[in-house]
Amino acid sequence: MKRTSLPGLLLGIVLALPAMAATIDTVRDGSAEEILLQGFHWNSSRNTEKWYPVLSRMANTIGADGFTAIWMPPPWADQSSWNNGTVSGGGEGYFWHSFEKDGRYGTDAQLRQAAAALNKAGVKVIYDVVPNHMAERDGPSMFVRGSGEWRQDCRPACDEGDAFDKGDPDLNTGNQRVAETFKNEFINLRDNYGAQGLRFDFVRGYAPETVDKWMEAFGSQQFCVGENWKSPNEYPQGDWRHGASWQEVLKDWSDRSHCTVFDFALKERMQNGSIAEWRHGLNGNPDPAWRRIAVTFVDNHDTGYSPGAYGGQHHWPVADALINQAYAYILSSPGTPTVYWAHMYDWQRDELIRRLIKLRKDAGIRADSPIRFHPNYSGLVATTSGSRKALVIALQSDLQQLPQGMQAAALEWDNGAIRIWSIPAEPPQVSVTFHCDNPGAQPGESVFAIGSSLELGAWDPRHAVPLEGSNNRRSSVIQLPAQQQVEWKCMVRRQDSAEIRWQPGPNVSFTSGTANETTGRL
């Protein structure tokens, strides 16, 4: 037996410690550089060709297109059918009746083949799982009514969260046997169906702590994402979340489950905000621990359209004209981006998406990569700092070229509505306070900082940075990459005229990171 030296033994123990940690203190986000494909749409279970063989056939393409993981439909048998007046459906996996894998998407054997082909193509398999509720069929069910295993077995309900529909299909995930049964099935998906992660459906219906326990058993180094689609105003009055932001509600769920979350904060801004307000997604949060948990998406099988019957569900679709810009944003910004099957493989957005994925991977962008926004330009302009390169994103912006003017855009799309530059990797960004001392200030004057870098408007008065404060000193904190040689000046513009007064004399120049404040004098 090879003798292990004492240092080697100690090193071995130290390396093993994190895996043995009782509960993890970080989030289960895979490599933190995942690029997720939603591997189905709402009508996939009604597809002419069975869906699992489609996935087997497409596995190498999916891998070659740059996806590192695929969100699979729920693998459990769903023979339901329902019709609520305007639309009908059933069989999609969300109203399953047993853990049998033979369902509308294909057979057990076809599922194993698809999972094996995807794993072989380097694509992690993430199953959609639905532990909140199930359909009952005639004959013995997995769980026994009246035994405390169903929500309605107790008065009032015994359940860890909201009811699905009227609550009659809800299981009591707080019940030991129910939790154990799902734990064993998740391990079965890991060991026999190639699962390296799980997407938890309808997490509003059960406790995040239960998800954390299931993931401990499944394997903490794996990937998990929760679908917590519940707006703050859906929480009862008196619950702290009622008045909170979408981001805070999502972060709370993630903190308690140690899973990532679909970034419904960004989705809500894409639906209701201007493009500049997309910066308020979870993935744009100044705190990397918040960006890291965000699984960004444009649309999915609920919110978006799908090929086939009724055009799918389209509960909350992104405006068609914004879809390309939304993909440009999520694929060049922090978080874990998700691409919807139909956009990629049915509706010919694949060329743009493929190029965006390549830019992201070349730059080495991670879920928690830094991002800084440049509100001194119109539209949405931001710089995401990757480990190998930085990407400058300009959506619906008047930013036509970078300050140096040397860099051609790496990607231009939709007549310039999308521009992305790929620039050399940057040192970590620092905050610098810019002051303009303006003893001669007149009422109705606005004071700006203007200078050489993108953050300072590249010497273009239209993109100078407005400073706030009292008459004789106005300031603003601006984020810049460290070690940059910055040249700048103060500038005054009278509100009622285009007249501009420049700081006299030479530029103020400093190196960012050595000084964390800099002062000009008008």
Residues that bind ligand 7SA (CB under 6 A): 80, 82, 84, 90, 92, 94-95, 130, 164-166, 168-169, 201-202, 204, 227, 229-231, 234, 301-302, 313, 315-316
Output 231 or 274, the one with its CB closest to ligand 7SA. Answer: 231
Q: Residue 389: which of 358, 418, 416, 414 has the closest Cα? A: 358
User: What whole-number distance in Å separates Cα of residue 25 and Cα of residue 166?
Assistant: 36
| Per-residue 3-state assignment (H helix, E strand, C coil) for 152-219 | HHCCCCCCCCCCCCCCCCEECCCCHHHHHHHHHHHHHHHHHCCEEEEEECCHHHCCHHHHHHHHHHHC
Residue 313: contacted member of Ca ion, ligand 7SA, none (CB under 5 to 8 Å, by partner type):
ligand 7SA
Task: Please state the closest distance from residue 434 (CB atom) to ligand 7SA, in A.
Answer: 38
Residue 496 burial by Cβ neighbours in a 10 Å radius (0-12, 13-18, 19+) = exposed
Residue 202 binds which entry of ligand 7SA, Ca ion, none, with Cβ cut-offs from 5 to 8 Å by kind?
ligand 7SA
For the CB of residue 49, give the shortest distance to ligand 7SA in the complex, in Å. Answer: 22
**Residue number, nearest CB to ligand 7SA:** 94
Structure tokens that stand for 439 in this block:
């003893």
In the three-class reduction of DSSP (H, G, I as helix; E, B as strand; rest coil), residue 446 is classed as strand
In angstroms, what is the minimal distance from the CB of 471 to ligand 7SA? Answer: 43
CB of 232 to ligand 7SA, least distance (A): 9
Closest CB to Ca ion among residues 235, 510: 235
Residues at the contact surface with Ca ion, assessed by CB under 5 A: 132, 159, 161, 170, 205
159 contact choice in Ca ion, ligand 7SA, none (CB below 5 to 8 Å, kind-dependent):
Ca ion
Residue nearer to ligand 7SA on the CB measure, 169 or 481: 169
- Which does residue 170 touch among Ca ion, ligand 7SA, none (CB within 5 to 8 A, set by kind)? Ca ion
8 Å CB contact between 379 and 398: yes
- Least separation in angstroms between residue 124's CB and ligand 7SA is 20
Q: Is 65 a catalytic site residue? A: no
**Catalytic one of 227, 263, 299, 368:** 227
Q: How far is the CB of 395 from ligand 7SA (least distance, A)?
A: 22
The site partner of 147 among Ca ion, ligand 7SA, none (C-beta below 5 to 8 Å per kind) is none
Least distance to ligand 7SA, CB of residue 262, Å:
10
The span from the CA of 132 to the CA of 167, in Å, is 10
Of 65, 201, 263, 445, which one is the catalytic site residue? 201
Closer to Ca ion at the Cβ: 149 or 170? 170
Where are the strands (E) in 10-150, listed by range?
Answer: 36-38, 69-72, 82-83, 88-89, 124-129
CB hemisphere CA count around 148 (13 angstroms): 5
Among residues 145 and 315, whose Cβ is nearest to ligand 7SA? 315
**Nearer CB in complex with Ca ion: 203/276:** 203
Contact 167, 132 (CB under 8 A): no
The two three-digit tokens of residue 431, written as one number: 């905050």
Is the Cβ–Cβ distance between 368 and 348 less than 8 Å? no
- Closer CB to ligand 7SA, 130 or 330, in the complex: 130
Can 346 be counted among the known catalytic residues? no
Token pair, residue 142, equals 């997995």
Task: Choose among Ca ion, ligand 7SA, none what residue 230 binds, the Cβ cut-off being 5 to 8 Å by kind.
Answer: ligand 7SA
- Is the alpha carbon torsion for 115, 118, 119, 124 positive or negative? negative
Q: How many angstroms separate the Cα of 183 from the Cα of each of 134, 189, 214, 363?
A: 16, 10, 6, 38
| Residues taking part in catalysis | 201, 227
